[in-house]
Structure 1
Amino acid sequence: MEDRNITDVKEFILLGFSDIPNLQGLLFGIFLVIYLGIIIGNILIIIITKADPVLQTPMYYFLGNFSFLEICYTSVTLPRMLMNLLIQKRNISFLACAAQLCLILGLGGSECFLLAAMAYDRYVAICKPLYYLFIMNHKICVQLVIGSWIIGTPVVLGQTYQIFSLPFCGPTKLNHIFCDIYPILQVACGDTSLSEIFIYADVVLFGIVPFLLICWSYVRIIATILKLPSAIGKSKAFSTCSSHLMVVGLFFGSGIIVYLQPKSSHSSGRDKILSLFYTTLTPLCNPMIYSLRNKDFIVTIRKLLSKCIRSGNE
């Protein structure tokens, strides 16, 4: 710490993919297509879940909210990354970096708890079908969604304030594609062990706890499914859960690996790739996983397309 000058930081530099300058244009095109695919795909899910009365159920209510959350989550990181790739201006102000980190942590925690709420919904639907509409009434669904959005707000604000209250040493270059915790801690001066302890505590609270709740739900679900006498019934029950499990695996798998590593073992290249999984790949795959593996969705899409074709012919 004595050998490094503490600076009054006003901005950071997001290096992103600056180590491969010849591919900046190609990467911009790829991520632009991905971002448009995320926005269009998730908006279509929201529209479809609202348009068809058949889909006015708790499962699709959660899915519509999850799609809206995915749009918000992706929009925190991808537009800034696209701008950096396009105009090569990698500076981000101190406050903008703090706001980006706060939103990433807040929306990421909300996604964890919303995925847990969706797992609970499937547990009630399969394990307690006779009480499903009574337990998962509209009021409970709204409370679960609102709770998922706001449950981590105080902790996230406190975590962000604690990290950005640290002294920083120049140069403040973040070898990452967005303002994430560990790249910021790597340019902080002094002892950051307290910050790391808080990070692990947050990962347990907002990552491990929802993940364990999801695992508990699916242990009960699988036990119930295996007791079903009909092979068709088993297949149908598994199909309603498989899409959710795929999204859970993508999101939690990459996120927990990144945030549970000690700071010393972090690799910037590996972290960039893993961060793309939970900030980009999951939101992109969400519409495809749920639409292509869901018969109700396919039927509704066909009906909407038929209406569009008929109205166009008229």
Structure 2
Amino acid sequence: MQDDPKTLVSTDWLAAHLEDPDLRILDASWYLPGTDRDPKAEYVSTHIPGARFFDIDEISDLRSDLPHMVPPVEKFMSRLRAMGVGDGHQVVVYDAAGILSAPRVWWLFRLMGQEDVAVLDGGLPKWLAEGRPIEDMPPVVRDRHMTVRRQNHLVKDVTQVSAASKLADTTILDARSAARFQGEADEPRRGLRKGHIPGSLNLPYPELLTEEGTMKAPEALKAAFEAAGVDLAKPVITTCGSGISAAILSLALERVGHRNHSLYDGSWAEWGAFPTLPVATGA
């Protein structure tokens, strides 16, 4: 793969830069409710040297009833400052699933105007499989100021997505499984209707990954988008269950050079909970 410190870097790249003074590594591991895994406890016992833990559920807007919504700018700045992450740093984000939740944090940094951030391709599983160094020690942290310039065009709310659904001028692309998208499988969160946003397309995020858990090459990504019916000349809104795996689609779009994309933060956790919003089923 071609390393790009603004989107995706390999384990070789990270290993070569591990001692760089301005490198900051974030463990952004997260799991769906009911998986019985504790990402924070796993981080404490095993992480890439120097990594800080980025708690997706805590670094969010806790005033919202929806899960891990985008945090207020001030909260993001204060949490990252406390982690010693700020201006002038190259950030690399990984997760313990391979590529699942790390792209969400990559997208969140981009939303906050930070561009020197990349996802570790293959994540912790690939790093461990290659026998690379790990530790269980907390990093030494020094405060670092972060300048935030929120890029509002990168996020969409329910009103904007509803308008896009009606006007059909933007592709709404859903990262959930085909069974969930078609309304044939229950949602992992209770109380949500089954189905998808009318007019949206389905590209389950595993189709963007190789069998080894790395992201496919840009040519293969482009083929996957086209096979799902995506017109890469049009704007794209990515969505999923709660705004996590949608960011995998966003990262893949960035990898193929598609810049006009945004993420529906509330995703199906919001749309599926509102009885007044239309729902479609089937393919």
TM-score normalised according to structure 1 size? 0.26
Structure with more of its chain in helix, by fraction? 1
**Greater RCO (CA < 8 Å, at least 6 residues apart):** 1
Which has more strand, going by share of residues? 2
For the pair shown, which has the larger CA radius of gyration, 1 or 2? 1
